A and B are shown apart, each in its own frame.
Chain A
Amino acid sequence: MFKNPVINRILSALFTLWLISVISFIVIQLPPGDVVSNFVRQQELISGASVPPETLEFLRQRFGFGEPVYVQYLKWIAGFPKGDFGFSVIYDGAEVADIVARRIGMTLLLAILALFLSWGLAIPLGIYAATHKNRFSDYLMSNVALFGLSIPDFLMAVVYLFIAIFVMGSDYTGGLFSEAYVDAAWSVERFWDFLKHLAVPLLILSIGGMAGTFRIMRANLLDVLGQQFVETARAKGLRERVVIYKHAARIAINPLISRLGMQLPVLLNGTIIISIVLDLPTLGPPFYRALIAQDMYLAGTVLMLLAVILLIGNLIADLLLAWSDPRVRDG
């Protein structure tokens, strides 16, 4: 459309953003009945008290119930600039934005830590496997990686719980803190306890991400090692270590960076599922509970937010690729 690739990229990202909000709104509209009546029912069930009519009238006005769907959509997105994404039924009518804000940090922390951990393990292993091609160790690692790909995250979480209960005999039931530290102030002990609890979901997450990265790194490096510039480097008399790490691996990592955009969703998926199973304070459990209770503004907003995070992740991956690969930057 436009000559400038940057403007083009931004325009298409804006269009995607709009589509994301439309799809999230469709998800909000999918279940039968409207959110306000659901809220009234829920409130009567919990406290027996009925919602005051003024509040009801206000909510109906605010979200345009009874009006055409597109008006409802416009009223919903009109609140975005003010940080108003709707209200939550299961959290007693609290602002969706508040609930999300409290948990988004931990969600991102888990996903990003898992990303670093999986890369930190997968890249060296991939290099090792590629430089030892068709040896027993390569064969072993490649097949173990395929195993890793085949274990779904929720199964890993279940199996972990199984091991934790059986082998360690621990009273671990989930969460990120032992009972004693849940409400305590931050201290060295609490932090240590936190780390211990964090290790498990982190490991589960990284194993899933690792398998794919490992396989790609191995295949890439094998491709690169067959190219002429590697031969040239060897012919120049460079040490094998320099050839592999400075010449070959440097090029082989590039496709991984463009894969970053595909890996982040996998890790976010995993984070959500594991959080539901292990009850971690991320966006997973509220999203799940909201879906079950048809608390659609909360569910829809979380969904939209996850998509936006991934969109930003893709943008960052593109920028990183341009930074690391001059051919992309100038071409």
Chain B
Amino acid sequence: MTDTVSNTPATAAPAAEAPLAEHNYQLLSVRQLMWRKFLANRLAVLSALVLILLYLATIFAGFVAPYGPQNGKSRLSYAPPTPIQFCDDAGCSLRPFVHPVKAERSPVTFLLEFVADEEVREYIYFFERGDSYKVLGLVTSDLHLFGLRSDDARIALLGHDQRGRDLFSRIVYGGQVSLTVGLIGVLIMVMLGAVIGALSGYYGGWFDNFVQRFIETLRVFPEIPLWMALSAAIPPLWPPEWVYAGIVVVLAFLGWTGLAREVRGLTLSLKKRDFVMAAEASGASTGWIMRKHLIPNMLSHIIVTATLAVPVTILGESALSFLGIGVRPPMISWGLLLSDAFKVQVIALYPWMLFPAAFIFITVLAFNFLGDGLRDMVDPFS
């Protein structure tokens, strides 16, 4: 159907195309309809782009971040952000620069204060050499997207933390935990939920009954307290990678129930349909029916539910790490970075410590918008 009708009327004679163009919409394939529907939702498209950017920055964290995550200078403890400038009192330059911060004793309070050193211009160079890092644990490099050439001055787009480490770099590295927890957790959830839900809907009987009771019970527990209880049980002496895996499992352990329910309901309605009955009658095995008939038909619903489950998982990890029972240092996650900020004096004096919150917020918002867009897309005829 798709190859008979062209989407670009310009290729054919305009006069002959005109009456056809009106009906063009109905002649599109389902896939094309879905794609159009998705593109029509501007927010969803924008969110998808934002997420792609964030994940790219995460994969190439070492390249995007100007410094290593643990590289700090104690004299820059809680030093404020250094804004990127093109102009100052001495005139303008095409190459952006920053004024490095220096500590000065305040004439009024005699306390050490950070002020921008207006005398000094530190130019920002792109593709600079700096701290070495590994890309995906494979390639070692020391190339950075941007950096300063001076050894002494430092660029900090979002300020410094208590140990004088660049908060921007730490946020970029923190994404490696915060952003992947959601994806990996949801992947486990989808596998568990789809398989258990499909089996329980397809077989019914006592198995279905038991699974449904179990799911009901798990859902009766409030999520966050149960997450807290389970992740608090992760032994404190485990290496960070294990703790990370433990957190993912804990988050996925509760999340699969919603998906299993949805898949079960879909299976129940699908298995009464003619094409499934026909497959059964012609002797197809259960595994075949699942793989070839049930799962493909439910895939779009599963993708939507999974997309909307990602932000929930990300928020779960942030809340756990924020409370100090999630991932532990030296690992970095946005929730953990935020827990540094959560002391009254810190928020009042060093408000830039709240920047990780903005990243959590943007990510979660983008996933929610994307899920919304996908949901519209799955049902292209509405």
Contacts and interface: CB of A to CB of B under 8 A. Distances in A.
B225 A310 contact: no
Contact of A294 (B216, B222, B232, B361): B232
Contact of B235 (A32, A143, A307): A32
B214 interface: yes
Nearest to B223: A269
A20 B218 CA distance: 8
B247 interface: no
Interface string B118-162: 000000000000000000000000000000000000000000000
Contacts of A64: none
| Band of interface residues on A | 35 or more
Contacts of B341: 158
Contacts of A310: 220-222
A154 B220 CA distance: 22
B213 A303 contact: no
Interface of A is mostly: helix
Given A152-B318, A158-B342, A161-B344, A287 B368 contact: no
Contacts of B322: 154
B325 interface: yes
B184 interface: no
Interface in B339-365: 341-342, 344, 347-348, 351, 354, 357, 360-361, 364-365
B217 A20 contact: yes
Given A152-B315, A292-B232, A311-B220, A162 B338 contact: no
B217 A292 contact: no
| Band of interface residues on B | 35 or more
A158 B342 CA distance: 7
B357 to A, nearest CB: 5
Interface of B is mostly: helix
A137 interface: no
A27 B254 CA distance: 14
Nearest to A262: B219
Interface string B196-228: 000000000000000001101111111111101
Interface in B217-261: 217-226, 228-230, 232-233, 235
A165 interface: yes
A30 B319 contact: no
Contact of A272 (B218, B224, B235, B347): B224
Contact of B319 (A143, A154, A265, A299): A154
Interface string A306-331: 11001100100000000000000000
A251 interface: no
Nearest to A272: B225
Interface in B299-357: 311, 315, 318-319, 322-325, 338, 341-342, 344, 347-348, 351, 354, 357
Given A30-B230, A146-B372, A155-B360, A269 B222 contact: yes
A268 interface: yes
B231 to A, nearest CB: 9
A47 interface: no
A159 interface: yes
Contacts of B213: 12, 15-16, 19
B361 A150 contact: yes
Contact of A151 (B228, B344, B347, B361): B361
Contacts of B60: none
Contacts of A27: 226, 229-230, 233
A74 interface: no
Interface of A: 12, 15-16, 19-20, 23, 27, 30-32, 143, 146-147, 149-152, 154-155, 158-159, 161-162, 165-166, 173, 265, 268-269, 272-273, 276-277, 287-288, 291-292, 294, 299-300, 302-303, 306-307, 310-311, 314
Pairs of residues from A and B, 10 with the lowest C-beta to C-beta distance, nearest first? A30-B233, A291-B232, A19-B217, A150-B365, A150-B364, A269-B224, A152-B315, A165-B348, A27-B229, A307-B221
